């Protein structure tokens, strides 16, 4: 039984990381229909920022989060203004262009700091474990679960309770009419993109104690996160959250039943099935363009 709960917690922990990566992607895809394959590189940049700030300024991960959010958000803003904004009417082409951006960002990092793995220390206050019976949970992973839920809540608040959110939702539903009411859609898009990128940066910083940081770390993360967004349903934060939980737990379960790799394969095949039979996702957005 303990094995089961340990595995379930591992799934939850994975889900929390997926959720943070996927949230940014969900906003960018949901709002603009842009399939941002550079999102994995935003995560990677967040991870490297955490490493830089810790190694050179001695800042801990938690202390540097706001700074990382801003830094990666600004890079996202530059990417949107420089490239993505020209492609809003060609959604499939955004796959190609953002992949190119990903290559460039990866290579810049590789040239700047090399391609060796980097490690970032966990915040000391979150050292240690909580043990309930035979179930051992690391404090840091527990923290991640709660942190990802609060990021979800903050995003929900931003989208539904602020002026920016209202405008964004108006633009998502009808760009032309929103423009007629004086909403500057290009500015809204740019901000939404930057926010999504910033979230990716935070996610990247927070995973550094768990994985090794390399320039290529984002490539497969973005595929997973994108599958989560599609499974959840475009434009649905709840869907993204539920899908992260499902994918995380399913991966843990299948890995337990088979092995890590085949578990992942099984989850991928299940996701393919889901997309095939429910392309609008688990929580389809009822009004969309």
Partner 1 sequence: MNRNFSFDCIGYALFALLLLVVVPWGLGFDGFELNTFARYLTLGMVAMALALSWGCAGILNLGQAATFGLGAYIMAMHLKLKASVNMPDGMPDFMGWTNVESLPWFWEPFHSLPVTIAAGLLVPAAVAAVMGIFMFRGRITGVFVAIITLAFLVAIQLVFVEEQRYTGGENGLTGLAPLELFGWTADNYSLSFYYFVAGCLICALVLALALVRSKVGLVLRAIKENPDRVRFFGYDVARYETLAFCASAAIAGWAGMLYVLVLEFASPTYMGVPFSLAIVIWCAVGGRDSLVAAALGGIIVNMLEGRLSDLFVDGWTLFLGMLFILVVLVMPRGLFGVFHGALARVIAFYRQARLERRESLAISRSVVSGTHDKGGR
Residues forming the site for partner 1 (CB under 8 A) = 35, 37, 83, 86-87, 90-93, 95-97, 99-104, 106-108, 110-111, 219-220, 223, 226-227, 230, 259, 261-262, 264-265, 268-269, 271-272, 275-277, 279
Kindly tell me which of 82 and 128 has the beta carbon lying closer to partner 1. 82
Residue 92: CB atoms within 10 A of its CB come to 9
In whole angstroms, how close is the CB of 179 to partner 1 at the nearest point? 23
DSSP 121: P
What is the torsion angle, in degrees rounded to the nearest 10, for the CA atoms of residue 114, residue 124, residue 196 and residue 221? 60
Kindly tell me which of 165 and 216 has the beta carbon lying closer to partner 1. 216
Kindly tell me which of 44 and 120 has the beta carbon lying closer to partner 1. 44
In whole angstroms, how close is the CB of 82 to partner 1 at the nearest point? 9
Pick from 146, 148, 126: which is nearest to 138 by CA? 126
In whole angstroms, how close is the CB of 54 to partner 1 at the nearest point? 25
8 A C-beta contact, residue 60 and residue 54? yes
Q: Which residues contact 177 (CB under 8 A, 6 or more apart)?
A: 170
The DSSP element (H or E) to which 57 belongs, if any, is helix 39-57
Rounded to an integer, what is the distance from CA 268 to the centroid of its chain? 18
8 A C-beta contact, residue 26 and residue 197? no
Kindly tell me which of 107 and 117 has the beta carbon lying closer to partner 1. 107
95 CB-contact burial (10 Å; exposed 0-12 / middle 13-18 / buried 19+): middle
Kindly tell me which of 209 and 281 has the beta carbon lying closer to partner 1. 281
In whole angstroms, how close is the CB of 106 to partner 1 at the nearest point? 8
Kindly tell me which of 142 and 274 has the beta carbon lying closer to partner 1. 274
In whole angstroms, how close is the CB of 20 to partner 1 at the nearest point? 20
In whole angstroms, how close is the CB of 289 to partner 1 at the nearest point? 14
- Sign of the Cα torsion 30, 31, 34, 37 reads negative
């Amino acid at each position: 039984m303990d094995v089961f709960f340990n595995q379930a917690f591992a799934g939850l922990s994975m889900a929390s990381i997926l959720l943070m990566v996927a949230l940014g992607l969900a906003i960018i895809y949901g709002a603009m229909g842009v399939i941002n394959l550079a999102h994995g590189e935003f995560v990677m940049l967040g991870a490297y920022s955490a490493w830089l700030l810790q190694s050179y300024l001695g800042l801990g991960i938690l202390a540097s989060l706001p700074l990382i959010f801003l830094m990666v958000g600004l890079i996202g803003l530059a990417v949107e203004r420089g490239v993505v904004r020209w492609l809003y009417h060609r959604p499939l082409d955004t796959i190609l262009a953002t992949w190119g951006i990903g290559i460039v960002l990866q290579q810049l990092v590789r040239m700047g700091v090399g391609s060796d793995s980097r490690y970032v220390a966990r915040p000391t206050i979150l050292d240690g474990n909580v043990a309930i019976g035979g179930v051992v949970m690391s404090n840091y992973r527990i923290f991640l679960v709660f942190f990802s839920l609060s990021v979800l809540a903050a995003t929900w608040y931003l989208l539904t309770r602020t002026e920016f959110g209202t405008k964004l939702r108006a633009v998502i539903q009808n760009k032309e009419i929103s423009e007629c009411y004086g909403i500057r859609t290009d500015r809204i898009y740019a901000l939404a993109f930057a926010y999504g990128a910033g979230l990716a940066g935070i996610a990247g910083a927070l995973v550094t104690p768990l994985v090794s940081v390399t320039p290529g770390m984002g490539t497969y993360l973005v595929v997973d996160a994108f599958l989560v967004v599609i499974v959840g349903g475009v434009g649905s934060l709840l869907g993204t959250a539920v899908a992260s939980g499902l994918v995380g737990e399913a991966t843990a379960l299948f890995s337990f039943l088979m092995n890590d790799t085949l578990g992942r394969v099984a989850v991928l095949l299940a996701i393919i099935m889901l997309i095939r039979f429910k392309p609008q996702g688990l929580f389809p957005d009822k009004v969309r363009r």
